[in-house]
Chain A
Amino acid sequence: MKKILIIEDEKMLGEMYQDKFIQAGFDAVLAETAEEGITAVRQEKPDLILLDILLPRTNGIGFMEWLKKEKEFSSIPVIAFSNYDDPKTKKEAAELGIKDYLIKTNYTPQEIVDKVKSYLKN
C-alpha cells in the first residue's frame, strides 16, 4: 500500500483529502504544519508528499528547502497543492523540484487522486 503524506493546515480540507485517499486505497498521513510534516517524513517515509504552500510559520517553500537538503528523503516526489496562485511562488516551487503545482479549487479530490496515481506510476 502506497503511503501519502498530506501537509495541509486547513483541518477541514486535510481531513477531506485524507478520507479520499484512504477510500482510494492509500495509506494517508496528515500533518498540519511544515514542522509536523518534517517529523512525519522522518517517521513514515512516505512515497509521495502533497504539500500546501501557505502554512503557518515555515511555509511550503521552506519545507521543500529542508527536504532537498536531506539526502535520504530528497528523492520523494512532491506535488504542491495550494490556492495561492502566485507566479513567483510557482517558479520557486518548480526550481525546488516540485513535480506539479495544482490550484486546489480547480480539482476535485478524485482528480487529485488520479494525478497522484499517475506520478506514482512514473
Chain B
Amino acid sequence: MELDFIFLILILTLHFCVGLIVYFNNRKSKSNVLFAVMIFWLIVWTAVSFIGEEPINRGAVSVLVKMDFASAILLTYFFFLFCRDFLVRNLFTRINDLWFFLPAGLFSLFSFTNLVIHDIEFYPEWRYFVPGPLYPMYVLFVFAYIITGVTNLLTKYRQFRGIKKIQTQYVLIGLALTAFVVLITNIIIPNILKIPSPPLVSRIGIYSTLLFIVFTSYAIIKHHLFNIKVIATELFTAVVALILFIQMMVAGPVWLKILNGSVFILFCLFGYFLVKSVIREIELRQEVEKLSSAKSEFISIASHQLRTPLTTIKGYISMMLEKSYGQPPDKMEKPLENIYASNERLIKLVNDLLNLSRLEAGKIEFNPELTSLEELVSGIIKDLRINIEKKGLDIKIIKPSEPLPKIMLDQDKIRQVILNIVDNAVKYTREGGITIKLEKLNLEEQIKVSDTGEGMDEKEIQSLFRVFSRATAGIQLHTEGAGIGLYIARQFVEMHGGKIWAESPGKRKGSTFIVQLPVHLSPKLLKSETITVINK
C-alpha cells in the first residue's frame, strides 16, 4: 500500500471522526450541523481530487475533474454559511438562504457540462484544463464565498467578548494555519521556488485543512478553551498517537504491525487517563479558588456587619468615659470601663477571625515599608500605658544606646504582633511589671517582652504557636484568645522571614516572648504584594 494512499485514508478518517463528534455533540445547533455538512463536502472534494490525479483512464479522469469542481464550490458555499451563522442566531430566512445557494447550486451543476471546464488535455507529465465560458464566473463565486466567510469571522472576532471571542479566535487560527501551509506547499514551492516535489508534498496543502477542522471543532465544542495546560496535554497525546498510528500502518511484517498496534492502543488508553487527570486537577483547583474567594468575600462583609455595632458601643462608651456627656456617677465608672474592655475583646476576636480566615484561605496582603521599630513599639506602649498602670504594673523599655536603623516592615502586622504579646503579658501578670528590650543583633532586630506573670511549663510553651486546625479551633477559642492571636502573630512574623518564640523558667516564674525580624527583607518578599501562607 502506497504511503500517499495511507495518508489520504488517515486524513479522511480523521475528518470523518471530527465531523461525527461535532455533529453528535449538539445536533440541534446550526453551527454544528453546518460544520458537519462542510466536512462531508471536504471529504468528497479531497477524495475526488486525489483519485483524479491517479493514472486512470481518461474517461474516468474527466468525470472526476468535473466532480472536483462541483464539490469545490459546494464546499466553499458551506464554508460561507458556517462562518455566517457561527455563534449567532440565524437572521436569514429560507428564501434568503436559497438566493445564497443559487450560484453554488447552479455552478455545481454547470461543472458537469462544458461551461466551466471545456475540455481536459492530457500530456505525459501533467493535465491542462481548458476553461469554459463560465469559468471566470465560477472562480469569482468561489472567492466571493471564501472572502465573505472570512470577513464575517473577522467582524465577529472584533465584536465578540469573552468565550465567544476565544471561540472565533480558534477558528481564525485554524484557518490561518491552513492558509499558511497551502501558501507554502501549493504556491511558493511549486510556482515561486520552482522546486519539483513529490505528490505527497503538494497534497499536504489539501491535508492541512485538517488544522482548520481540528481548531474549529475544538472551538465549537468549547472544550477547555481557557486552559492551555489541558490543550497542551491533549495536543501532545494526539501527536504521539498519530505517530504511533502511522508507524503501525507502514510496518512491514504482520507481527510488527500487531506489536505497533498494541503500543498504539495502550498509549491511547493511558493518554486518555492522562488527559482526564489533568482536567480533574485543574477543575479541582478552580473549584478551590472559587470557594476561597467566596469565603474571603463573605468574611469581609460579615466582619463589617459585626464591627458596625461594636464601633457604636466603643464610640459612645469611650465618649462617656471621656466625660463628653458630663461627669458620670462614680459608681458607674467601673461598669463603663468593663463594658469598654469587653467590647475591645470582641473587636479583637472579630479582627483575629478575619485574619485567620485570610490566612486559611492562603492569601494575605503584605505591604512592607521602611519603619523604625523603636517608634512603632513606643507608639504601642503609649496606647497601652494607661491600662498597664491602672493594673498597678510597671512598664520599662530598654533601648540600645544607638537608635535602631529603620527596616522594611508591614507596620499593621508587626503592630498587631507586639500588641498581642504585650496584651498577653498584661493579662497574665498580677504584680510586678513588663520589660520590653529592643536590640540590634547581627542580621536581625530583636524585641524581647518579659513579664513577672504566671509563666508556663514546657508543654504549654510547645503548644503556644501550634498550627491552628479546625478540630482544635473550638477549644482554643475559649482559652482567652491565646490560640488564635499567637498563631496569627507567628504567621505575620514568618511572613517577614523572622522568628517568634517563648521562654519561661516554669509556672509562676514569668515568661519572655522574643521576636526577631531580619534587617534586610529578602528581595523575593519585597517584590510580592500577596504572600501565600502555606499551613505546615
A118 contacts the other chain (Cβ, under 8 Å)?
no
Q: What is the CA–CA distance of A23 and B315 in the complex, to the nearest angstrom?
A: 14
Q: What is the CA–CA distance of A40 and B316 in the complex, to the nearest angstrom?
A: 26
Q: Which residues from 313 to 332 on chain B have a C-beta closer than 8 Å to any C-beta of chain A?
A: 314-316, 318-319, 322, 324
Q: What is the CA–CA distance of A106 and B316 in the complex, to the nearest angstrom?
A: 14
Q: Which one, A12-20, A30-38, A61-69, A71-79, is touching chain B?
A: A12-20
Which residues of B sit under 8 angstroms from A87, Cβ to Cβ?
Answer: 364-365
Q: Which residues from 72 to 108 on chain A have a C-beta closer than 8 Å to any C-beta of chain B?
A: 82-87, 90, 103-106, 108
Q: Are A19 and B304 within 8 A (Cβ)? A: no
Which residues of A sit under 8 angstroms from B312, Cβ to Cβ?
Answer: 10, 12-13, 16
Which residues of B sit under 8 angstroms from A39, Cβ to Cβ?
Answer: none
Which residues of A sit under 8 angstroms from B324, Cβ to Cβ?
Answer: 19-20, 23
A58 contacts the other chain (Cβ, under 8 Å)?
no
Q: Which residues from 7 to 54 on chain A have a C-beta closer than 8 Å to any C-beta of chain B?
A: 10, 12-13, 16-17, 19-20, 23, 54
A85 partner, pick from B304, B308, B314, B318, beta carbons under 8 A: B304
Q: Are B304 and A108 within 8 A (Cβ)? A: no
Q: Are B307 and A105 within 8 A (Cβ)? A: yes
Are A83 and B307 also in contact (CB < 8 A) when A12-B312, A16-B312, A106-B347 are? yes
- Distance of B135 from chain A, by nearest CB (Å): 64
Q: What is the CA–CA distance of A83 and B322 in the complex, to the nearest angstrom?
A: 23
Which residues of A sit under 8 angstroms from B315, Cβ to Cβ?
Answer: 13, 16-17, 20, 108-109
- Distance of B356 from chain A, by nearest CB (Å): 13
B311 partner, pick from A20, A23, A105, A110, beta carbons under 8 A: A105
Q: Are A10 and B319 within 8 A (Cβ)? A: no
B263 contacts the other chain (Cβ, under 8 Å)?
no
Which residues of B sit under 8 angstroms from A103, Cβ to Cβ?
Answer: 307
Are A83 and B365 also in contact (CB < 8 A) when A108-B318, A110-B318 are? no
How many A-B contacts at CB < 8 Å in the complex? 59
Q: Which residues from 351 to 385 on chain B have a C-beta closer than 8 Å to any C-beta of chain A?
A: 351, 354, 364-365
Q: What is the CA–CA distance of A109 and B312 in the complex, to the nearest angstrom?
A: 10
Which residues of A sit under 8 angstroms from B311, Cβ to Cβ?
Answer: 13, 83, 104-105
Per-residue contact bits, chain B 7-44, to A (CB 8 Å; 1 contact, 0 not): 00000000000000000000000000000000000000
Which residues of B sit under 8 angstroms from A12, Cβ to Cβ?
Answer: 312
B350 contacts the other chain (Cβ, under 8 Å)?
yes
Which of B300, B304, B315, B316 lies at the interface centre, i.e. has the most chain A CB atoms within 10 A of its CB? B315
B184 contacts the other chain (Cβ, under 8 Å)?
no
- Distance of B454 from chain A, by nearest CB (Å): 28
B148 contacts the other chain (Cβ, under 8 Å)?
no
Q: What is the CA–CA distance of A84 and B364 in the complex, to the nearest angstrom?
A: 15
- Distance of B133 from chain A, by nearest CB (Å): 68
B526 contacts the other chain (Cβ, under 8 Å)?
no
Which residues of A sit under 8 angstroms from B364, Cβ to Cβ?
Answer: 87
Are A104 and B307 also in contact (CB < 8 A) when A13-B312, A84-B300, A86-B300 are? yes
Which residues of A sit under 8 angstroms from B319, Cβ to Cβ?
Answer: 16, 19-20, 108-110
Q: Are A105 and B314 within 8 A (Cβ)? A: yes
Which residues of A sit under 8 angstroms from B310, Cβ to Cβ?
Answer: 105
Are A109 and B350 also in contact (CB < 8 A) when A13-B311, A16-B312, A104-B307 are? no
- Distance of A30 from chain B, by nearest CB (Å): 15
Q: Are B314 and A108 within 8 A (Cβ)? A: yes
Q: Are B318 and A84 within 8 A (Cβ)? A: no
B62 contacts the other chain (Cβ, under 8 Å)?
no
Q: What is the CA–CA distance of A103 and B412 in the complex, to the nearest angstrom?
A: 11
Given contacts A12-B312, A20-B319, 4 further A-B contacts (CB under 8 A): A13-B312, A19-B319, A83-B311, A110-B318
State the B residues within 8 Å of A (CB). Answer: 300-301, 303-304, 307-308, 310-312, 314-316, 318-319, 322, 324, 347, 350-351, 354, 364-365
